[in-house]
Amino acid sequence: PHPQKWRPFCLRFEGVVEDFNYGTLLRLDSRREYTEENTIFATRIQFFAIEIARNREGWNDEVFSSAREPAAAEGKS
């Protein structure tokens, strides 16, 4: 994420979101695993914003479904 574009957005959450500017890992492609090629360093608030947008647009539906399938299969035993 481009720092000059993100900075004003991120600063809006100072004092609102705890540790808003702490660093975290973010997957570039949410359908793939955390790998060196698919991971960048972002602030916590950037992570939240991107994941919320991905959820709203359905990008995490596949990940959510695949995580639920093993749990559902275990419950049927």
pTM, 2 dp: 0.74
Q: Which two tokens stand for residue 68?
A: 């639920």
The residue ranges of every structural domain in the chain are: 1-38
Instruction: Give tens-digit pLDDT for 2-57.
Output: 668 889 999 999 999 999 999 999 999 988 899 999 999 999 999 999 999 999 99
Q: Which two tokens stand for residue 69?
A: 């399938």
What pairs with residue 41 in β-bridges?
25
Torsion angle of alpha carbons 3, 4, 10, 14, nearest 10°? Answer: 110
Q: Are 40 and 58 in contact (CB under 8 A)?
A: no
Helix axes 44-57, 3-11, angle to 10 degrees: 90
Lookup result for tokens 């035993």:
77
